[in-house]
Structure 1
Amino acid sequence: MVYSDVDGTSMDQKSDKKRGKNKLKSKKAEAEEHEEQLKRLKETQAEFYEYMKERDEGLLKFDAAEFEDDADDAEAGAETDLEDTEKQAVEETPKLEIAKKANEQKTITLDMFKSWRKSIREDAKLGAVRSMLRAYRTACHYGDDSGDDPSAKLSVMSSAVFNKVMVFVLTEMDEILRKLLRLPETGGMKDTIVEVTNTRPWKNYNHLVKSYLGNSLHVLNQMTEAGMISFTLRRLKHSSVFLTAFPSLLRKYIKVALHFWGTGSAPIAVVSLLFLRDLCIRLGNDCVDDCFKGMYKAYVLNCQFVNVVKLQHISFLGNGFIELLGTDISAAYQHAFVFIRQLAMILREALNTRTKEAFRKVYQWKFIHCLELWTGAICAYSSQSELRPVAYPLAQIISGVARLVPTARYVPLRIRCVSMLNRIAASTGTFIPVSMLLMDMLDMKELNRPPTGGVGKGVDLRTLLKVSKPAVKTRAFQEACVYSVVEELVEHLSQWSYSAAFFELSFIPTIRLRSFYKSTKAERFRKEMKQLISQIEANTEFVNKKRASSGFQPNEPAAASFLESDKEAGTSPLSQYAKIIRQRAKQRNESLVQSDVTVGESSAVYGKSASMSDEEEDEADTNEKGAAAFSSSWLPGSDSKGKEVEEEKKKKKRKRKSSVSSEKKQDEEGAGEDDVVEDFVLSSDEEEEDDLFDIGGDKDEEDDAADEITEPETKTSTKKTKGTYKTWHKAYKKTKKKKPRVA
């Protein structure tokens, strides 16, 4: 910083003047001293003086007065220079003002935009492309908190110009850049871009590509309107292959797309999924690992709370993740191995320690939905040899989870586990003995006693992992359990209804079904068991007749094709009965949804309404969709953005209040007691102890510790456990206030 004196002369200029004077004065003193030395030399060494006079008389002719004149002239010259500098500064002031005005930012008008667009379309002028990208940058950064870039030549535009610039660039810039880089009009893979980066066109125009992608990323982070986000991502998908040359931008795009996929509405989530899938297909290993890990984490974070409506969202996210796994099956196996191993370690800790903390890590929605996710992945790619090896360890983990706490309150969880095992068995063609898990549930005392809790409210086992103590004693719970056991047992037996060993594998389940038929006093259950037993016996007779007429041994290859034609036609008695049971289960679930859950217009709808084929949408009426997306008077300014943020905060507060009230109602009814969990943290591959799942629970868990922990505890250990749970419960009460809303 330069400071000025009262007279306007800068302090630096005055100091320079003083230094010049001191320097000249020192030279004058040296000259006088040198003149005296020459005089002393003539007196003391006369011979040497005469010798110097003969050889070089000029060295002895020295006059100090000359330096005095030089000092005075220099002082006067310094003053003159200072005056000239001040005069020159005064004269240059208008010139600086003129240059400053020349560099002032211009307003982008509609005529400027039309002229650039005409030059690009008709004359293909590179200058117009640069001007359009500068206008696009201004539009993307308009209203930033840091202010507009002072070095930018263009600034300020109306909403109409903003809309036209955004739509034109997003719609046509990909084609323009491909022409400049001499690339195909559409598509392209990673190798194509790698080859182009060594060419001269890339060196000349790569800054245009980076500007387009970087500014688009910036405006994506500022957008809040669903139509604008969907249109922008859909158009950027065509240019995603360019991200090969910009790894830092690639990581940021993946992060933004994962955020939209995990938290956005149906249209945004579908477009984000397609964007990520296109990245994985075109770029390969550069983004596959990041996409797999990010999507898995986003999926688990969405599994904290479950109801019928939330199940649709979770199902959509799971299907999207499974779809993405198909882009690279080899990498999918590596990630599946790591994540399934983490689940196995959590289950092993629960089996070894048998503490309530370890049990809660297993019996929470995050853990169960992870099992269902990998079950869906194995079922989807059962024909691929890469994922088949993880089917066995996954089935072992699911069986261990089902047997971990064998109480009636965890019947919903066991039903889910049996359903997953049936799906794995059906997709891989492997026999998994699930009938014993189902028969053990029928032997529970809660299902063999008359209900003492009254009729009770309908229980939807799909949205529960555990039911409350009062609900176990109701008639509705008993019916839900028995009917669910029958449905899963029919699914299991119908899968092997064409096997030559059907009589052997159905023998023990039939005996136990007859035992339950005799012991139960509920006529509705007796009728259900009688019908199931008759269907099993009919199927046994059907198989034995075919087996008696066959002439091959069980170990011969011909046994594999036993009843193959009948299986394709689905003519066995159990196959026909399974269709009836599925239809009945569907009707019962629909009735539970209509009676217990109110689905509003604002609820997320995934599936039929969300179309996965966006290629047709991209090509048809692209300009109209873009104009509709940007047709509002929205500008990414701080004022409008602040209003939108405030509105979102108000909406979130309202939803939190409604979710808290619904959760309180659930707690009173005993539903979803173990559904409170914290954020999901991914661990590295080398970690021996995985803290994937945090603990969540409630006070009711403390009251029935004896029901859950099978091993006896001493008095001292019980006291310690109660003490630790008091401190844990205090921390839980604090976290419950910050509980995320139920979507």
Structure 2
Amino acid sequence: MGSKNKAKKLTVKSEVKNGVKMEKEEAKEHIGTLKKLQEKDPEFYEFLKEHDKELLDFDEEDLDDNIRTDAEDEDDEEEVDDDVAEYSDPESATEEEPSTNVITGAMVDSWIEAIRSKSKLAAVRSILKAFRSACHYGDDSGDDPAAKFSTMSSSVFNKIMLFVLNEMDGILRGILKFPSSGGKDEMVKELMATKRWKKYNLLVKSYLGNALHTLNQMTDNEMIAFMLRRLRYSSVFLAAFPALLRKYIKVALHFWGTGSGALPVVSFLFLRDCCIRLGSDCLEDCIKGMYKAYVLNCHFVNSTKLQHIQFLGNCFAELLRVDIPAAYQHAFVYIRQLVMILKEALFSPTKKKNNSKGKDEPSKKEKGKEARSSSSNKEIFRKVYQWKFINCLELWTGVVCAYSNEADLKPLAYPLTQIITGVARLVPSACYFPLRLRCVRMLNRISASTGSFIPVSLLLLDSLEFKELRKPPTGGVGKAVDFNSILKVSKSTLKTRAFQEACVFSVVEELTEHLAQWSYSIAFLELSFIPGVRLRNFTKSTKVDRFRKEIRRLTRQIDANSDFVNKKRTAVTLLPNDTAAESFLEDLKNSDTSPLSQYAAALRQRAQERSGALTESSVLIGDNSTKFGSKISSDDDEQDDSDVEENASAMLSDHYSKQQKSVNKKSSTTKHTEDMALDEDIVEDLVLSSDEDAQLSDNPDEDDDDDEPEYDQQERSSSKKRKHGVDMHKGKQNDGGNRKSKKKRKTR
């Protein structure tokens, strides 16, 4: 075999030398013709100098450079073959077609030493081939001749993976004479025009492609995060491989939306670096992909998933910072989609009424049409009154609030406010009070960030006029209601005392927040007049002492704040259209000296205590994964790298063992399903007994008797009297019956 290979090499070298001789002769003839042209037609020669310098700058040195690079490539190939021949098994070398080649630790150590000390290109190629076989370990190679190495131990696997992931970025940058860190899309395009890139681009593609294959195969979140953290430094080279770039974006978006632990944060940092370095094309794909992943994650919301959804929204808002003008185009399109859905719900066809009075009942066809129209109306309303639509409003509210000072995104505040107001007024029912409350909170956030007045008080005061809040609770005390994790309340919950209290307290808190934002405005007296009147009307109409006391407290604070502003206003002479009115009491805003601002701070603390009591017993899964800081420095990344690298070898050995098991299981496919069935964990549902249910249902009534309003106590006492009267009446009837029976016995 060795003699045949040497003969092939000699024939190739002779062919190359003959080709070089022919090219040299053609180059000399070309130079001679150029000299003759200069002597015969100097004017045309001058014209070529101005318009085609490359033709005249032709020299024999260019040909020599090309010859040297070809010779270097041949030498490199010879070195790779020599390394393989040196470190492969002697027994396999005697065979004509070796089936397996074992990678040993000595081979890997020699390659690493050759790269670090001598910077040998052949060693780089060898270790990249070993990296490819490690990434595809456990796969069906089939008849792939490129798979030179197919077996290795776990220690060798770890050594190859750690060395390549940690140092290959710097090695490739040195080979390509690229900056040691960073880089932009324009720099890669300049590099692609050089001869070095044409020679060594396959090394970069091999490294990135095989790493992507491993990301698709791995299941350990920590190891995936470690790989993405290392690949983040080489993301600039993806500008040369658009197909690989799209695959990397798809994989990172999947890990960002569904990962746990540190994986979502690392995936987001990888995507953001790609957008910063690779330009608008990558940014457009990332914005669309992240918005789609956000929508898929917010179909259903509970107390444990709220933090993860907030984290995804913060990441999306941070990505838009890369290019705010381009972000406006995407934001406009997505907000317009929400407008079209709301418009369809607002102008949906209503039920047709019978115009003719002669007909007593509609026909079967008309009944069928009415049923179909009512069902279609419900479907249209469900498109708006669902978590997906509301969370999209929350997302764009966060974006507008984060970039309220940016001239490009600030105009989106007005259409977004109109959408939120329309959603809150779409179905004015007490069942959807949690949804209306979320809309009010979004409007308060937009008003505070943009400094624009939004009439939020009308939505809140209309909620106090629900008939369910004016009636005494007939459904008992009920369970505490968490408005943060629901959009609709059941009809049985509407009649409970807990729901009524939560509604009134939430209205008071949000109305206080709204009025506290304008507690330093020169027009506070006019702004708070109508809310004050309607609150006083509510205190007169309600029969619950708690609600009456809570509303009176708020009205007293409003009156005190009006007196506070009026005293300052009488000392200033300003016209309504004077621009100086905007700076009225600007110095006192930061001090929080107004009565309403102090009252709002106390209510915030009360709301936090109430929400803390609701979520005290909730289970948080992966709470560290949802924490996202606004400022992330490179030093923190380096510390994270050092922490992860300590455990990287252990994680790689686990991955190797899993791949080894997959290889062994290919021969025993029948036992695979049985083993999987035995390995699965069985989780049983927790069911409360009837005694525990009885205790849970009895305790709230006993605990809340002392805090019950006077009206409820009177109702309960009157109901007891009624029951007692009925029992007495029954007793009299029974006594009368007994007397009659006695009289009959006497007559007999």
TM-score higher than 0.5 here? yes
Mapped pair 1:457 → 2:479: yes
Mapped pair 1:599 → 2:619: yes
Q: Is the 8 A contact 1:312 1:605 kept in 2?
A: no
Q: Is the 8 A contact 1:379 1:424 kept in 2?
A: yes
Q: What's the offset of the Cα at 1:618?
A: 4.0
After TM superposition, list the pairs within 5 Å mapping 1:305-316 onto structure 2. Answer: 305-316=300-311
> Could you say which residue in structure 1 is the equivalent of 2:130?
135
Q: Is the 8 A contact 1:487 1:581 kept in 2?
A: yes
SS at match of 1:234: helix
Match of 1:634 among 642, 655, 666: 655
Q: What's the offset of the Cα at 1:322?
A: 0.9
The amino acid of 2:522's aligned partner reads: A
After TM superposition, list the pairs within 5 Å mapping 1:467-506 onto structure 2. Answer: 467-506=489-528
The amino acid of 1:337's aligned partner reads: F
Q: What's the offset of the Cα at 1:332?
A: 1.1
Residue range with higher mean Cα deviation, 625-634 or 437-446: 625-634
**Mapped partners of 1:330, 1:416: distance in 2:** 29
**Mapped partners of 1:498, 1:654: distance in 2:** 61
> Could you say which residue in structure 2 is the equivalent of 1:619?
638
Change (3 A) 1:590 1:649: farther
Q: Is the 8 A contact 1:448 1:520 kept in 2?
A: yes
Match of 2:593 among 548, 566, 571: 571
Match of 2:537 among 515, 521, 526: 515
Match of 2:182 among 184, 187, 193: 187
> Could you say which residue in structure 2 is the equivalent of 1:117?
112
Count of matched residue pairs: 562
Mapped pair 1:372 → 2:391: no
After TM superposition, list the pairs within 5 Å mapping 1:87-126 onto structure 2. Answer: 101=96, 103-126=98-121
> Could you say which residue in structure 2 is the equivalent of 1:156?
151
The amino acid of 2:597's aligned partner reads: S
Q: What's the offset of the Cα at 1:242?
A: 0.5
> Could you say which residue in structure 1 is the equivalent of 2:316?
321
Deviations 1:155-183 (A, max 9, x none): 21111111111111000000001111111
Q: What's the offset of the Cα at 1:105?
A: 3.9
> Could you say which residue in structure 2 is the equivalent of 1:24?
none
**Mapped partners of 1:630, 1:645: distance in 2:** 30
SS at match of 1:308: coil
Q: What's the offset of the Cα at 1:630?
A: 3.3
> Could you say which residue in structure 2 is the equivalent of 1:303?
298
Match of 1:168 among 138, 157, 163: 163
**Mapped partners of 1:348, 1:659: distance in 2:** 45
Q: Tell me the TM-score normalized by structure 2.
A: 0.72
**Mapped partners of 1:421, 1:626: distance in 2:** 46
Q: Is the 8 A contact 2:218 2:655 kept in 1?
A: no
Mapped pair 1:359 → 2:378: no
**Mapped partners of 1:155, 1:186: distance in 2:** 34
The amino acid of 1:260's aligned partner reads: F
Deviations 1:211-241 (A, max 9, x none): 0000010000001011110100000000001
> Could you say which residue in structure 1 is the equivalent of 2:214?
219
Change (3 A) 1:294 1:647: farther
**Mapped partners of 2:673, 2:495: distance in 1:** 48
**Mapped partners of 2:446, 2:388: distance in 1:** 20
**Mapped partners of 1:646, 1:164: distance in 2:** 35
After TM superposition, list the pairs within 5 Å mapping 1:323-402 onto structure 2. Answer: 323-353=318-348, 355-402=377-424
> Could you say which residue in structure 1 is the equivalent of 2:6?
none
Q: Which has the higher contact order (CA 8 A, sep 6+)?
A: 1
**Mapped partners of 2:644, 2:615: distance in 1:** 36
Q: Is the 8 A contact 1:110 1:161 kept in 2?
A: yes
Change (3 A) 1:640 1:590: farther
Give 1 or 2 for the bigger CA radius of gyration: 1
> Could you say which residue in structure 2 is the equivalent of 1:38?
none
**Mapped partners of 1:653, 1:450: distance in 2:** 49
Q: Is the 8 A contact 1:171 1:622 kept in 2?
A: no
Mapped pair 1:403 → 2:400: no
**Mapped partners of 2:384, 2:581: distance in 1:** 41
Instruction: Give the aligned CA root-mean-square deviation in angstroms.
Output: 2.6
Q: Is the 8 A contact 2:404 2:450 kept in 1?
A: yes
Mapped pair 1:238 → 2:260: no
After TM superposition, list the pairs within 5 Å mapping 1:577-726 onto structure 2. Answer: 577-594=599-616, 597-599=617-619, 602-608=621-627, 613=632, 615-620=634-639, 622=641, 625-631=644-650, 632-635=653-656, 637=659, 639-640=661-662
The amino acid of 2:517's aligned partner reads: Q
**Mapped partners of 2:630, 2:508: distance in 1:** 36
> Could you say which residue in structure 1 is the equivalent of 2:192?
197
Deviations 1:44-76 (A, max 9, x none): xxxxxxxxxxxxxxxxxxxxxxxxxxxxxxxxx
The amino acid of 1:239's aligned partner reads: S
> Could you say which residue in structure 1 is the equivalent of 2:51?
none
Q: What's the offset of the Cα at 1:487?
A: 1.0
SS at match of 2:322: coil
> Could you say which residue in structure 1 is the equivalent of 2:42?
none
SS at match of 2:577: coil
Deviations 1:336-386 (A, max 9, x none): 111111111111111111511110110000000000000000000111111
Change (3 A) 1:618 1:501: closer
Q: Tell me the TM-score normalized by structure 1.
A: 0.72
> Could you say which residue in structure 2 is the equivalent of 1:291?
286
Between the aligned residues of both structures, percent identity stands at 61
**Mapped partners of 2:198, 2:270: distance in 1:** 27
Deviations 1:235-278 (A, max 9, x none): 00000010001000000000000000000003100100111111
The amino acid of 1:274's aligned partner reads: L
**Mapped partners of 1:653, 1:203: distance in 2:** 53
Residue range with higher mean Cα deviation, 373-382 or 142-151: 142-151
Mapped pair 1:535 → 2:557: yes
Mapped pair 1:466 → 2:458: no
